[in-house]
Chains A and B, each alone.
Chain A
């Protein structure tokens, strides 16, 4: 009997281990595609793969995060407003699925704010006030969930910078947040190997305008 239990345990752990390895390997591959994709087709392929992983790994939030990120990238490539909205709807739906697993994950909340920010670009005149407010509020929430999250800080700085520029007011506050984001990009280390790492370049671009 003891042996049976032992074998059983061994099988289970190796199986689990193998699964994790497969998960990390597959995720790593798709994340690279999402980061580097040049076309909507590539992104769609990666997003599909991530959704398959999400269906198989029902407790992991990362596939939802990156599939949302993929849709967000598709939205930024799209010119037509109604299609843009559709991609953003998909991104938001993926974020919501992720949030049911980890409601307090700062990265997911920051990405949600990013979706609102891109929403504005569809029709700035009519959406500006509503969605930029919503975006700021969501970035604020992401920062409060994890004050060291460089992406939450960098996105918030982007939004503040855009608003300040629009109204011709001082960009000092925005630049301060961008500098804080830079510090965090240099020091912040997540213990999750699949944690997002994007945003440093975007932040550096912003800092260039700050000088």
Chain B
């Protein structure tokens, strides 16, 4: 009977049809009205949307205790208990902004983040791959960004007065040693890793996270793609070789492999080269990737790269060019990287990885053998925790084990001699990122390193801030100290050398709209504990060197103003001096140039189904030392400026076929990177010079890329 009573009560309550009017207004934290917000009584149909002025009003038939909810995209859900019994309710609600890490403030000082599809990025993988003059080389494309100095004879990334070796490459957080392929002396090398492998590239020109160590100037962080989506076979026929790749996909994983053969010999036979090749470079490369999703929120990745390159050339004596010396090189390279990512709870995640690099150079100079082997093992585990919507914590540990051995045959003593070292290094880092609001974020952390080779223990602080006052503009500051073990050639003779040290101070402003970006950044970098040694005696090295670099970097990108076109302009000013190595005094190093300018332009012509691109770069003269001058004139001479205009075209005759052609230095400028001098004087008592030139006035490249898959609209465009 009691039950029946309740039922009757429920029925009558419904019939009674008591109505309650709820009205009010909704604003954001600044008091601006929010139109279109959804106002509802939880679990009922009743509710409404706020009007243009933020006000709302509706009538509900619900009775008793209920939950009133207000929600709108980008704001935290508001929820409040209400008693509905016919008495009108008037509310004035302030919705709190959600901390949005995609749209809100981000730390931008020192870093160019590229890739992550939906973020507003400065450059993405396609941008990198389709930059004229870069020939799909990551370093080549990044060289069009401010903060880099063009050092044409190396092909490497020189960042803000730093040497090429001060930029460290990481794949999925794991270190890569010897990231560039071998090349003849004074000819540009290429990065070993192709841009299409990566979904994201973060290029940092300073002030980077405490997670990255052993890099003085710059961290190039490459994030590999996740599981592939479909089976496909790619074939590439290139003017300098061929490649074939296949991707196989299954339910929760994918595997892909690629074999590439590059032989530049036929090309060099056609086009005269500055280098006197006996046998130009040929290489065979195999790479493979494996992806498997594991359980809930787990991802296992493997990547391997195996390369064998050989070449042989004649070095000509500077004093007497008729005197030649044969130089043969055979390089073997292996890189293996395995990472595992696991979500532990909704707020905790873990990533762990191991990488292994093996690089061996066997050389013969006039038949006399020498060898150099470097192996490196890197293991790492990192935990990430979102303590709250506003606080992110990250910490981890790393262990490096690097061994190096160089050997050569001593012709005088008729026996083999060798030098080697072994560098075990452990480190721990921790970092916290706090979003005070959508307008202010601070990141602070530190990195502890214990290097057992030189028995050094160090702690490096890293701090950065960003403040975003409005919708588009943002200020950012960064500070940090960075260190790196000196180059192998010095450590192998003096194992007690301390790491070289750099301190970065960076201030940045950037203005980002939908398809336009403007950035200006200024920095000061202080170098300490650089290797120095008395001229001609690297065995007596010490850490007494020092130096500084300061400058300003400007960047402008616009993919909106010109229809179907996209362009960016970079300019960097650099003022740097050092007293290191065997410098007789404080001087500008020979790789530094005061002014670097580049403009990259890409245009899509739908009528002829082609994308054309141009890149123009300019670098002001670089210093060199003419030994015929007194020592106080060290590095006071300057080379002529460098300039290059490159073009490329990608033509899509069919859905799955791309024809690609590119050419560097269209204007045929004879660029000079520096001068080499004879080690002894000639009969007139003069040191004779020889210019370091481009290997050839132009490099032309032609390729046809074919994709075979069930889905006919897929092609390799993103890979180019």
**Is B3 located at the chain interface by the 8 A CB criterion?**
yes
Q: Is A90 touching B45 in the complex (CB atoms < 8 A)? A: no
Are B45 and A53 in touch, CB under 8 angstroms? Answer: yes
Q: Which of B3, B10, B52, B715 contacts A41 (CB 8 A)?
A: B52
**Which residues of the partner chain B approach A80 to less than 8 Å between Cβ atoms?**
514
Q: How far is the CB of B524 from chain A (nearest CB, A)?
A: 34
| A167 partner residues in chain B, CB cutoff 8 A | 609, 652-655
Are the C-beta atoms of A126 and B229 separated by less than 8 Å? no
Bound-complex Cα distance A85 to B45 (A)? 28
**Do A163 and B655 have beta carbons less than 8 Å apart?**
yes
Please measure, in the bound complex, the distance between the C-alpha atom of A89 and the C-alpha atom of B230, giving whole angstroms: 23
Known contacts A51-B38, A85-B118, A137-B711, A56 near B229 by CB under 8 Å? no
Inter-chain contact B3/A133, CB cutoff 8 Å: no
Q: Which of A3-11, A142-150, A186-194, A195-203 contacts B (4 or more CB under 8 A)?
A: A3-11
- The answer to whether A7 touches B611 (Cβ under 8 A) is no
B611 — which chain A residues lie within 8 A by C-beta? 125
- What residues of B have a CB within 8 angstroms of the CB of A8 in the complex? 3, 7
The number of residue pairs between A and B whose CB atoms lie closer than 8 Å in the complex comes to 95
Contact, CB under 8 Å: B44 / A56: yes
- 1/0 per residue A38-56: CB within 8 Å of B? 0001001100110111011
- Name the residue on B nearest A3 (C-beta): B4
Binary flags per residue of B320-357, CB closer than 8 Å to A gives 1, else 0: 00000000000000000000000000000000000000
Q: In chain A, residues 62-95, which have Cβ atoms closer than 8 Å to a Cβ of chain B? A: 80-82, 85-86, 89-90
Inter-chain contact B47/A41, CB cutoff 8 Å: no
If over half of B's interface residues share one DSSP class (helix, strand or loop), that class is named, otherwise mixed; here it is loop
* Docked pose: A55 CA to B66 CA in angstroms: 14
Stretch in B120-128, B365-373, B386-394, B431-439 with 4+ CB within 8 Å of A:
B120-128
Contact A48:B606 (CB < 8 A) given known A56-B44, A129-B714, A136-B713? no
Q: Does residue A132 face the partner (Cβ distance < 8 Å to B)? A: yes
Tell me if A166 and B4 are in contact (CB < 8 A). Answer: no
- Sort chain B's interface into a size bin: 35 or more
Bound CA–CA A208/B655 (angstroms): 24
Contact A41 B35, CB 8 Å, known A48-B47, A86-B73, A133-B229 = yes
From A52, A127, A128, A159, B46 is in contact (CB under 8 Å) with A52
Q: List residues of B (7-65) whose CB comes within 8 Å of A's CBs.
A: 7, 10-11, 35-38, 40, 42-49, 52
Asked if residues B514 and A82 are in contact (CB atoms below 8 Å), the reply is yes
Cα distance A12–B103 in the bound complex, in angstroms? 48
Which residue of B36, B45, B566 is within 8 Å of A125 (Cβ)? B566
B552 at the interface (CB under 8 A from A): no
A166 to B4, CA, bound (A): 70
Number of A residues with CB within 8 Å of any CB on chain B: 40
Residue numbers in A under 8 Å from B230 (CB-CB): 133, 137
A129 to B515, CA, bound (A): 20
Report whether A55 and B42 are in contact in the complex, using a CB–CB cutoff of 8 Å: yes
CA of A81 to CA of B7 in the docked complex: distance in angstroms? 54
- If A41-B52, A167-B654 touch, whether A129 touches B4 (CB-CB below 8 Å) is no
Residues of A contacting B717 in the complex (Cβ-Cβ under 8 angstroms):
128-129
Interface of A is mostly: helix
Q: From the candidates A41, A126, A130, A132, name the one contacting B36 in the complex (CB within 8 A).
A: A41
| CB closest residue in chain A, given B654 | A167
Cβ of B180 within 8 Å of any chain A Cβ, yes or no, is: no
Interface positions of A from 107 to 150, Cβ below 8 Å from B: 125-130, 132-134, 136-137
- A residues less than 8 Å from B118 (CB atoms): 85, 89
Q: How far apart are B119's CB and chain A's nearest CB, in angstroms? A: 10
Question: In B127-172, which residues have CB < 8 Å from any A CB?
Answer: 127
Residue of A nearest to B712 (CB): A163
Closest beta carbon of chain A to B200's beta carbon, Å: 13
Asked whether, in the complex, the Cβ of B52 is within 8 Å of the Cβ of A133, the reply is no
What residues of A have a CB within 8 angstroms of the CB of B117 in the complex?
127, 130
Q: Is B185 interfacial (CB 8 A cutoff)?
A: no
A22 contacts chain B at the CB level, 8 A cutoff: yes
* B261 contacts chain A at the CB level, 8 A cutoff: no
Residues in A with CB closer than 8 Å to B534 are none
Partner of B124, one of A48, A52, A126: A126
Smallest Cβ-Cβ distance to B707: which chain A residue: A129
Collect the chain A residues with CB atoms within 8 Å of residue B677's CB.
none
CB distance from A142 to the nearest CB of B (A): 15
Nearest-neighbor residue (CB-CB) of B515 within chain A:
A81
The residues of B that contact A130 with a CB separation of less than 8 Å are 117, 718
Q: Chain A nearest CB: distance from B378 CB in Å?
A: 31
A13 is an interface residue with CB less than 8 A from chain B: no
Shortest A177–chain B CB gap in Å is 13
A169 within 8 A of B: yes
Contact of A44 among B36, B44, B655 (CB under 8 A): B36
Q: Output the least CB separation between B618 and chain A (Å).
A: 27
From residue 694 to 720 of chain B, which have CB atoms closer than 8 A to chain A? 711-715, 717-718
- Judged by a CB distance under 8 angstroms, whether A104 is at the interface is no
- If A44-B49, A52-B38, A56-B44 touch, whether A133 touches B713 (CB-CB below 8 Å) is yes
Partner of A81, one of B73, B514, B711: B514
Please, how many angstroms separate the alpha-carbon atoms of A133 and B232 in the complex?
12
> In the bound complex, do residue A133 and residue B711 qualify as a contact, i.e. CB atoms below 8 Å apart?
yes
Q: Report B698 CB to chain A, min CB distance, Å.
A: 27
Q: Which residues of A lie under 8 Å from residue B653 when comparing CB positions?
A: 167
* Neighbouring B residues of A45 by C-beta, 8 Å: 36, 49
Known: A85-B118, A133-B713, A169-B654. A126 touches B73 (CB 8 A): no
Asked whether B604 is an interface residue with its Cβ less than 8 Å from the other chain, the reply is: yes
Can you list the 7 inter-chain pairs with the closest CB atoms, starting with the nearest? A48-B38, A44-B36, A45-B49, A48-B49, A52-B40, A163-B713, A52-B47
Give A contacts to B, CB under 8 Å.
4, 7-8, 11, 22, 26, 41, 44-45, 48-49, 51-53, 55-56, 80-82, 85-86, 89-90, 125-130, 132-134, 136-137, 159, 163, 166-169
A-B contact pairs, 16 of them (CB 8 A): A22-B45, A44-B49, A45-B49, A48-B38, A48-B48, A53-B45, A55-B42, A55-B43, A56-B45, A86-B73, A90-B73, A125-B564, A127-B117, A137-B711, A163-B713, A167-B655
The residues of B with any CB-CB pair to A shorter than 8 Å are 3-4, 7, 10-11, 35-38, 40, 42-49, 52, 73, 103, 117-118, 120, 124, 126-127, 229-230, 514-515, 564, 566, 604, 606, 609, 611, 652-655, 711-715, 717-718
Q: A85-B118, A169-B654, A169-B655 are in contact. List 4 more A-B contacts (CB 8 A).
A: A8-B7, A48-B40, A134-B229, A167-B655
